[in-house]
Structure 1
């Protein structure tokens, strides 16, 4: 019998607003506006399968689509695993995709970061590409592959605030495995409601999301 995550109270409008309000006070929401085409570098085929499985599950959750290729970029969701940030500038052609790669690498090294995401947007403000960089330090090396994959893909599916999950993970433990929190799952489904815009900069968008999560309870 499959366990389900414990039920949680639905997120309040204020909590939803906070999840999309950046540290500088700016509210910014965005979701993908095109099918996702993932590619993963630096891990075994088995781990690639786990990551792609997490993306597929979230696309099913949100009714979003995946594709074999992106007509503009080829692949538009790229995940890079490294042991040290100094490996990034050595990756062939990565500087073409990330012109600021050199200064970015220095900042990540100085901050001791173990993960970083860069989003690109189309003319409507919807996400058109996401580059995820993961440095497998001692902390992440102890995280099960399924948990790491789900956590990273949740954060790549929607443009959350840069402070969104500092105090609480989007995942919850169910027995000995991690699963997406029900309240976050409801919010992600609401985020991909086709009636809503793919990008919003007004905090009133949190109320529209809240109204749709309520329908899912």
Structure 2
């Protein structure tokens, strides 16, 4: 079981600040740039993770229509041709230039409501050789997990949130699943900047285990 210090690490950013946020509204995803078979895989991953943490999904968001947009593409420059995307994401052109120069293959942009809860997420996946070699189910699960809460920018630099079973199946690591369920407990805040939040998450995890 993850201790409070480990929970804190998952939400302590590289500048030393603590910041946690989860979704404050039902999730309504849409996926661009893939075939129907992959579309169903991505939406299925959202459904599975939402069911696990006890969060709702919806067909549409009353304010935004779709509040999770997942883009699959080959080159970052393709984003500049997406109609109205520059109205949804401030500084799209310099962001694209920076990500192209860094040869990044993924990036996520979050938007928040007045209470600090997540209200929108944009997931960008440049399908280079690395991402193209990952099975669709694995890639989808990984992206959904990283879109459900605002993790630290260093949270998964050393270890993926996913693990592999003896039979080869890739699943969410149990401790990460337990952490997410605790963070989505209705008694917990949707946003917090105090490291004591990590103590509360760890306590909820222990309660769930009956300890």
- Calculate the TM-score normalised by the size of structure 2: 0.97
- 1:77 is aligned, of 56, 61, 68, to 68
Determine the C-alpha separation between the residues in 2 that align with 1:29 and 1:116.
18
Alignment correspondent of 2:3: 12
Alignment partner of 1:177 out of 169, 172, 177: 169
Contact (CA 8 Å) 1:119, 1:131: kept in 2 or not? yes
1:147–1:177 Cα contact (<8 Å) kept = no
Q: Paired residue for 1:212?
A: 204
- Counterpart CA distance in 2 for 1:173 and 1:151 is 13
- 2:16 counterpart residue number: 25
* Structure 1 unpaired stretches of 5+: 1-9
Give per-residue Cα distances to partners, 1:113-159, cap 9 Å, x unaligned: 10000000000000000000000010011000000000000000000
Runs of 5+ consecutive residues of structure 2 not aligned to the other structure: none
Rounded to whole Å, the distance in 1 between the matches of 2:158 and 2:148 is 20
Mapped to 1, the partners of 2:60 and 2:131 lie a distance apart of: 30
Give the stretch that moved more between structures: 116-125 or 170-179. 170-179
Equivalent residues in 2 for 1:15-94, closer than 5 Å: 15-94=6-85
Partner of 1:108: helix, strand, or coil?
helix
Kept in 2: contact 1:119–1:127 (CA 8 A): yes
Deviation at 1:25, TM superposition (A): 0.5
How far 1:214 sits from its partner (Å)? 1.1
Residue 99 of structure 1 deviates from its aligned partner by 2.5
Instruction: Give distance in 2, aligned partners of 1:99 and 1:130.
Output: 13
Q: Tell me, what secondary structure is at the counterpart of 1:58? A: helix
Secondary structure, counterpart of 1:195 in structure 2 = coil
Tell me which residue corresponds to 1:112: 103
Deviations 1:1-28 (A, max 9, x none): xxxxxxxxx1111110000000111100
1:69-122 per-position Cα deviation (integer Å, ceiling 9, x unaligned): 111100000000110101010111111111211000001011111000000000
Contact 1:126-1:199 within 8 A present in 2 as well: yes
Query: Contact (CA 8 Å) 1:32, 1:127: kept in 2 or not?
Result: yes
The answer on whether the counterparts of 1:114 and 1:134 sit within 8 Å (CA) in structure 2 is yes
The residue aligned with 2:194 is 202
CA distance in 2, matches of 1:186, 1:214: 9
* Superposition deviation, residue 176 in structure 1: 1.6
